[in-house]
Amino acid sequence: MKINQIRAFRCMMTSTRERAWWLIGHPECEITRARLPSKGQVLRKLYFHHGIEKKTKPVAAKEVIEAVLLIWGRAGIPTSALRTAKEKLLSLVAKYESLQKHRKRASETARMKEEMFKGDLEDLFDVASSDVLDRMTVEEDKAFLRSQRETERPRPWRA
């Protein structure tokens, strides 16, 4: 079997019966391309590679970031460097693991932090370069990026 066939098979075999991860849900082998990826989608894909495929976190993070940058590239949006995006992902993972470490705490502050994190999971995992709006020339693309950055993330893009 080719590597892509093995991955597709492993992806199909991962069902909802698999263990759901605390706060983020079930791991996902693919990021849906209907819109730019959210923080939750990126975390679920990372934990698919790390938890199910048993890859190390740095290797899993690199694969996830490469997939994310590919999606952003298809949307025609300039992105930050791979290293910068990977650091951003590992920072998000560290925040998640810090919350996970203290998940049994019953304090109001701990619950509030969990709820804030859960709310942030639907936000865009933004890997655009810092001067992206200056570098983009097509107004429609700028409007698309602004709409994706909104908290509701209302409209999908078409590849």
In tens, the pLDDT along 121-150 reads 888 999 998 888 888 888 888 888 888 888
Cα–Cα dist 51/28, whole Å? 11
| Bigger pLDDT: 107 vs 15 | 107
Q: Is the dihedral of CA 11, 14, 19, 23 positive or negative?
A: positive
In three-state secondary structure terms, 128 is: strand
HEC profile for 88-133? HHHHHHHHHHHHHHCCCCCCHHHHHHHHHHHHHCCCECCCECCCHH
Pair of tokens at residue 114? 């969990």
Q: What is the pLDDT of residue 3?
A: 56
Q: What amino acid is encoded at 116 in this protein? A: M
Render pLDDT for 68-92 as a digit per residue (tens, 0 to 9).
Answer: 999 998 888 999 999 999 999 999 9
Cα–Cα dist 152/155, whole Å? 9
Q: Is residue 12 scored above 60 in pLDDT?
A: no
Pair of tokens at residue 140? 């429609």
Render pLDDT for 46-63 as a digit per residue (tens, 0 to 9).
Answer: 988 878 888 999 999 999
Low-confidence winner among 25-29, 97-101, 108-112 (lowest mean pLDDT): 25-29
Give the residue carrying structure tokens 């709310």.
119
What is the average per-residue pLDDT within 98-126? Answer: 85
Render pLDDT for 90-100 as a digit per residue (tens, 0 to 9).
Answer: 999 999 888 88
For the stretch 137-145, contacts whose Cβ atoms lie closer than 8 Å and that sit 24 or more positions apart, written own/partner, are 138/76, 141/75, 141/76, 141/77, 144/75, 145/77
What is the average per-residue pLDDT within 34-48? Answer: 88
Q: What is the pLDDT of residue 24?
A: 60
Q: What is the pLDDT of residue 33?
A: 67
